[in-house]
Chain A
């Protein structure tokens, strides 16, 4: 429910609506936002995004008061929602293309910083933090890795990568239904189950083999989206075996793609 409407900032590209005093949000991909008395579904894109990471892609946020925000997208209303400690800012876009471009921009900025930090840390581990500096491994095992890290960093700087968002997994109760409407996945899952059983037979003593025949491994479906290619990807996994099938859907325009994404938000559960 709306308690306060504080201010409204207009810019040439986007509008920012500021709200204050909402209750906490549940963890989950789909969640309700209340906007002027009507409910609207949104899902979380990014957590703990620093202001400096948003500004290059949403200039108008420079005047807003926050240090970090969780960013949600409300596809129905073409909003990005910045959830900060004190307030919630609603930023509307004139069209879906602009909304998509902004999602890609922020996502790549975060990924770039995040990955660069990880690569630098990994390199530090390989080069500096050795406990026994006088003991080395002959040949090139570790130096190759450092060279590869440098190469990946170069790719990052040259923008040679595509952003992929992990949206979560299809809710357990919806997995069967997903398989039913995608019969092409069935064969791959059956093969995966067979491989799971073989692994089980190999690891068990003679008296456990019977149990292996009875165990049905869990099947889970991870959902990813690749905004730059307007693709949604479903990765079907079998316990212990991991990925057994990849189902990809591609869309022609930002509207179709984001609408399709919206269609999945009710059955996808995020992990963060």
Chain B
């Protein structure tokens, strides 16, 4: 049991996608993946419940359904807030957007909402980041990553010479940017994505590992989750 799937999930949201939750009595629950027991562990405000599944396919389906429901509503809520903020909560309602300044933005929000409702976006679960002490090891063990990070370090140093980083300008030749290595699970594709980001430069490397079966995928998720640090 290592991966937290979602925190503070309201009863009605969970019950709408998980039949087993309907008969439970709680207001909110944190949901964890329990790979070994083929279960979702619910830590509720009314005690602990493990919801077990017959096989790993069912468990994966439940994760996809639940994740999509939560993420979908989360993003829709956010997009609605954005639209409201841009359109309705203006302090001076008589002032309108001249020409195209904001229409494109609102169109994009609308488009994002549309894509969401047509299920064009895939759910992604952020598992966490590799601990700092293991980052060097990871970089050095993969030549592609090593090359990408070295190139990014060059760019970072150029930014340093231009005074665009926080480093002392006299030490730009030695400056080393912070590197983050993040792990994401994409349940609908049964894949795990590893992403390398370099400070001030952004993403420099991405690799996706695909798995054939729900069992293999969830096992890998479980193993990676034990390796990373998460922040929630």
Contacts and interface: CB of A to CB of B under 8 A. Distances in A.
The judgment on whether A and B are partners is yes
Contacts of A6: none
B230 interface: yes
Nearest to B127: A134
A123 B9 CA distance: 24
A134 B102 contact: no
B71 A136 contact: yes
A141 B104 contact: no
Contacts of B102: 115, 152
Contact of A142 (B4, B75, B90, B98): B75
A111 interface: yes
A114 B90 contact: yes
Contacts of A49: 92
Given A122-B82, A132-B6, A165 B96 contact: yes
Contacts of A226: 98
Bin chain A's interface residue count.
35 or more
A131 interface: yes
Bin chain B's interface residue count.
35 or more
Interface in B135-162: none
What is the predominant secondary structure among interface residues of chain A facing chain B?
Answer: mixed
A59 to B, nearest CB: 22
Interface string A106-139: 0100110011011101100110011111111111
A100 interface: no
A100 to B, nearest CB: 16
Given A132-B74, A135-B67, A272 B121 contact: no
Contacts of A122: 81-82, 85-86
A48 interface: yes
Given A134-B4, A136-B125, A148-B104, A161 B98 contact: yes
A134 B125 contact: yes
B116 interface: yes
Contacts of B70: 131-132, 135
A135 B74 contact: yes
B95 interface: yes
A133 B71 CA distance: 9
A164 B122 CA distance: 39
Contacts of B96: 164-166, 224
A270 B94 contact: yes
Contacts of B116: 137, 141
A102 to B, nearest CB: 15
A131 to B, nearest CB: 5
A167 B96 CA distance: 10
Nearest to B100: A161
B93, B94, B104, B126: residue with the most chain A Cβ atoms closer than 10 Å? B94
A45 interface: yes
Contacts of B45: none
9 contacts: A49-B92, A107-B95, A111-B98, A138-B186, A141-B115, A141-B121, A148-B104, A164-B98, A166-B94
What are the 7 closest A-B residue pairs judged by CB atoms, nearest first? Answer: A162-B98, A135-B71, A138-B122, A164-B96, A122-B82, A136-B124, A137-B121
Interface of A: 44-49, 107, 110-111, 114-115, 117-119, 121-122, 125-126, 129-139, 141-142, 144-145, 148-149, 152, 155-156, 160-167, 224, 226, 270-272
